[in-house]
Chains A and B, each alone.
Chain A
């Protein structure tokens, strides 16, 4: 294992972590192509290392948001049944998939994410503070509007289904999967964007743990490279948060969509080769 490779992975992790937190998603969707296409690591190794960084991102981000009532613990735990089940099944199945099939899946998922993002640029779900939020709803102080926000969870089966899909995608492709379920929670299930993002950030860690022990046992998690990626992502995501507080969400979403379309095309080409 050369010093240059370790250094390259640290840099890749930092950039992915920075982009990920800037755009409000995990860095996995950038890290996997970096490691796989950029550094020429096998897709399964890239995916397994990325899953490790997903856990680190989840723990670090949730530690930062905890105490602001943004994380909906009960909704999160309920959805984690679906997301971990999906993660475990995908973790078992991924061993049997060829890298061509994985590339195609990666291309489809990134394209789908980009489309969802572009179609839902300005969506809000906010009730009056006095309303009854039900067993799964929540309320928090919204810094953007400067008032208390409450919400009720709608269409729970849909949220569970989205979590199952996000969990499977996470276990198969090594991304957090937050970008798949956050738009669903936000657009159709009544959860405000910031609460959906915070709850999802907590969920992706446990979801990754439903499949990453399998990859670790199979030897895909190369320890020095995984360490380099995790440390890079942790440092990079701090940087991204700092920029993120100073930028407009709408433009970030558009930027993210463009990047994802580019990544998607790259993987379509690889899948066809």
Chain B
């Protein structure tokens, strides 16, 4: 694998993380202001939760993008490594979803 490919991935992931944190922050600002001013409480609640979910989803997306890139680089050791991390994250999300329905 070339160093250029990994450097490009670093830049790409940086943009993804920036996009994720900015979208989450925007949702949270609007949601929080609406919540405090008591404007459309149900929608404010939705925005706040959407913001938190975008925040939590961003690192998961980062791992997914890395996975795609390692497959493209044919770096199988790191494809496996990334799959292992993804497996742990999926387990966490699954347990959380299960708890929520109970």
Residues of A with Cβ closer than 8 Å to B?
A: 1, 3, 6, 52, 55-56, 58-60, 62-67, 69, 71, 73-74, 77-78, 80-81, 84-85, 87-88, 91-92, 205-206, 208-214, 216-218, 221, 223-224, 226-228, 230-231, 234
Contact = CB atoms under 8 A, between A and B. Distances in A.
Nearest to A62: B17
Task: Give 7 closest A-B pairs by Cβ, nearest first.
Answer: A66-B14, A213-B96, A63-B18, A223-B48, A217-B96, A59-B21, A227-B28
Bin chain B's interface residue count: 35 or more
A231 B58 contact: no
B84 interface: yes
Interface of B: 6-7, 9-11, 13-15, 17-18, 20-21, 24-25, 28-29, 31-32, 35-36, 45, 48-49, 51-52, 55-56, 58-60, 62-63, 66, 78, 81-82, 84-85, 88-89, 91-93, 95-97, 99-100
A58 B55 CA distance: 10
25 contacts: A6-B32, A56-B21, A59-B55, A62-B13, A63-B15, A66-B11, A69-B10, A71-B10, A80-B63, A84-B89, A87-B88, A88-B88, A205-B59, A208-B59, A209-B56, A209-B60, A211-B92, A213-B92, A213-B93, A216-B52, A217-B99, A223-B49, A224-B35, A227-B29, A227-B48
Secondary structure of the B side of the interface? helix
B98 to A, nearest CB: 8
